[in-house]
Amino acid sequence: MSGTSLDGIDAALLDLSGATPRLLATHYQAFPAHLKDALLALHHPAHNELHQAQLLGNELAREYACATGALLHSANFSPSQVRAIGCHGQTVRHRPDAGYTLQLGNAALLAELSNIAVVSDFRSRDIAAGGQGAPLVPAFHHQVLRHPDIHRVIVNIGGISNLTDLAPGRATTGFDCGPGNLLMDAWIGMHRGLPYDKDGAWAASGKTIPSLLQAWLAEPFLHAPPPKSSGRDLFNMHWLKQHLQGNEAPADVQATLLELSAYAISSSVKQFCSGVEEIYLCGGGAHNHALVRHLKNELPNCRIDLTDQLGIGADWLEAIAFAWLAQQTLHSRSANLPEVTGARHPCILGAIYQA
């Protein structure tokens, strides 16, 4: 899995033969700076972008293959012992409103380099059936993390935040809430040259700017009902800067961005997950202590913890989920939840590239 945050690749080796996924090994591989910059540039129309996208897809495939090799080496596994790689690819456009989504990665090249079958392009089939193509991980949450009697909500705080509502006796629902880490990461990168705000310390040193927060909160996406999904197509530096006056202290803008991310999550929980008893966090933002404090202040009547408490590490949940999604594809089982994505019917997701 490599997500909206563009920090790198999470690779997880799973045994899915039992009722509960068994995590055998993990490997993290950071993106080279030039690759991250090139992928960011592709989010906007540019000269010769089709050629650049294909070249980057090839480079990503080589990075994914390298991560796969390192993972298997650490676990003393050979490629022949692995049934398939579930590879999400790197999203550079997500436009379900226009009927498409685009994830780079060249799955055919990854299959060739790794000598392992690859399942990829998980989102397109759901979009073809009228869905958002995202989020897809709620189906995994439903299968593995649902409790028969306790109302749980799973919140993934990646570049974009999304939630899954696991209410007993009701269908599983889920949707993208709004910006998670991506705007905070971009702002601290611009002003302090850091990839992310560790523990939310820089944001905690600033003060929220109420007028700026209200201007950002006017974004229609934040108030739209689900199903809904988003990405850098909407929440990007242009979106961030359009309401700045130019005289704001950078730390205060960071504090306001953190408040925005906390609001996107907490307001979604309050509006669409009434009666929730437990909230479990995953993704990089789950380690942002300042953000988690804000969430606990906004949602005082429920337990808030990491998914580690449910037996699945917060840093690896999405990589694990895409292994599970690949297994669903290989067994010709549907893996989208129409109640989540808005698709007209359940679909078998993904395309298979045999080794």
Equal CATH topology for 8-132+347-353 and 146-310: yes
**135-181: pLDDT as tens digits:** 999 999 999 999 999 999 999 999 999 999 999 999 999 999 999 99
Tell me, which fold does domain 8-132+347-353 have in CATH? Nucleotidyltransferase; domain 5 (3.30.420)
pLDDT at residue 6 greater than cutoff 90: no
pLDDT at residue 43 greater than cutoff 90: no
Structure tokens belonging to residue 98: 């226009």
Q: What confidence score (pLDDT) does residue 291 get?
A: 98
**250-288: pLDDT as tens digits:** 999 999 999 999 999 999 999 999 999 999 999 999 999
pLDDT, mean of residues 226-251: 95
Rg (CA), the chain: 19
Q: 146-310 has which CATH code?
A: 3.30.420.40
pLDDT at residue 355 greater than cutoff 90: yes
Average pLDDT score, the chain:
96
pLDDT at residue 47 greater than cutoff 90: no
Q: What confidence score (pLDDT) does residue 146 get?
A: 97
Structure tokens belonging to residue 284: 């990089």
Contact between 30 and 7 under an 8 Å Cβ cutoff? The reply is: yes
Q: How far apart are CA 48 and CA 345, in angstroms?
A: 37
pLDDT, mean of residues 200-218: 98
Q: What confidence score (pLDDT) does residue 4 get?
A: 85
Which of the four pLDDT bands, split at 50, 70 and 90, describes residue 226?
Answer: very high
**77-127: pLDDT as tens digits:** 999 999 999 999 999 999 999 999 999 999 999 999 999 999 999 999 999
Domain limits of the chain?
Answer: 8-132+347-353, 146-310
**294-343: pLDDT as tens digits:** 999 999 999 999 999 999 999 999 999 999 999 999 999 999 999 999 99
* pTM of the predicted protein model: 0.95
Q: What confidence score (pLDDT) does residue 19 get?
A: 87
> DSSP letter string over 200-268?
GHHHHHS---HHHHHHHHT-GGGGSPSS----TTTSSHHHHHTT--S---HHHHHHHHHHHHHHHHHHH
> Which alpha helices (H) appear in the chain, and where do they start and end?
33-41, 49-75, 107-114, 124-128, 138-144, 182-192, 201-205, 210-217, 237-241, 250-272, 289-298, 317-330, 338-341
Which of 152, 147, 168 minimizes the C-alpha distance to 276?
A: 152
Q: What confidence score (pLDDT) does residue 105 get?
A: 97
Structure tokens belonging to residue 254: 């960071």
**8-37: pLDDT as tens digits:** 999 999 999 998 999 999 999 999 999 999
